[in-house]
Amino acid sequence: MTIMTTRQRFDFILRYFSEHMPEPEPELHYGSPFELLVAVMLSAQCTDKRVNLVTPALFAAYPTAESMAQASVEDILAFIRSVSYPNAKAQHLSTMSKQLVADFGGQVPDSVEALTTLTGVGRKTANVVCAVLWNQPAMAVDTHIFRVAERIGLTTNSKNPLQTEQQLVKFIPAELIPKAHHWLLLHGRYVCTARQPRCLATTPDASPVTPNACPLTPACRFFAQQQSH
């Protein structure tokens, strides 16, 4: 089996997704920059599906930073009790909305640096907002991307999300970075899953599924390693 260079691996994977998923969409539901920021904050260590269940009522009650800034933490908590870490997130949303009003006129800022001055907004959340809203070359690294990038072989010995981000942006063209975030996230969520990546899945009779169960196997370091054992 021919061993790909890192550049060849990136080229294969980016070409595949560009052809087969040219316009990936975020799975979080939102109708404004403020709603996206809130939804991404709520999605930390929580599924997008769960967030999408609670945000319609939350956004109906507090559609803007100004309206949420007037709510108490307890008011916000009542809408988000079913997400992970609801108490902390309710506090963060309350403080963040007040900061938006006081520091940014109620408008979501358009830079990672400004966004990360807001309570509860880390680099990943800021990168998502900048990539989705303004198509900026900001590579957000969540748990799926951190895992998948290393497993496939896009990163090597990455110790934390920032190292993963730095290795990815080195090889991904700036204009593709906003899409690449979604490509890798969705691949990790539905194909290269943590416990049972599709390339190792089995059919009901326990025979191995063909490599076609994952379209990235020709470029995947993990799959090559499994085949060599």
Considering the candidates 11, 48, 98, 142, report the single residue annotated as catalytic.
142
Q: Running DSSP on this structure, what letter comes out for residue 208?
A: B
CA distances in angstroms from 162 to 72, 103, 142, 184, listed in the order given: 34, 27, 10, 16
Residue 170 designated active-site: no
CB 86 within 8 A of CB 80: yes
Q: Do the Cβ atoms of 64 and 34 come closer than 8 Å?
A: yes
Choosing from 48, 98, 110, 124, the catalytic residue is 124
Q: What is the CB neighbour count within 10 angstroms for residue 33?
A: 17
| Interatomic CA distance for residues 78 and 59, integer angstroms | 13
CA-to-CA distance for 3 and 193, rounded, in angstroms? Answer: 24
Query: Contact, 199 vs 211, CB < 8 A?
Result: yes
Distances (CA, A) of 109 to 113, 129, 177: 9, 9, 20
3-state class (DSSP) for residue 202: strand
Selection from 218, 162, 163, 214 nearest residue 186 by Cα = 214
- Residues 6+ away with beta carbon under 8 Å from 133: 33, 36, 108, 110
Indicate if 98 belongs to the active site: no
Active site residues: 124, 142
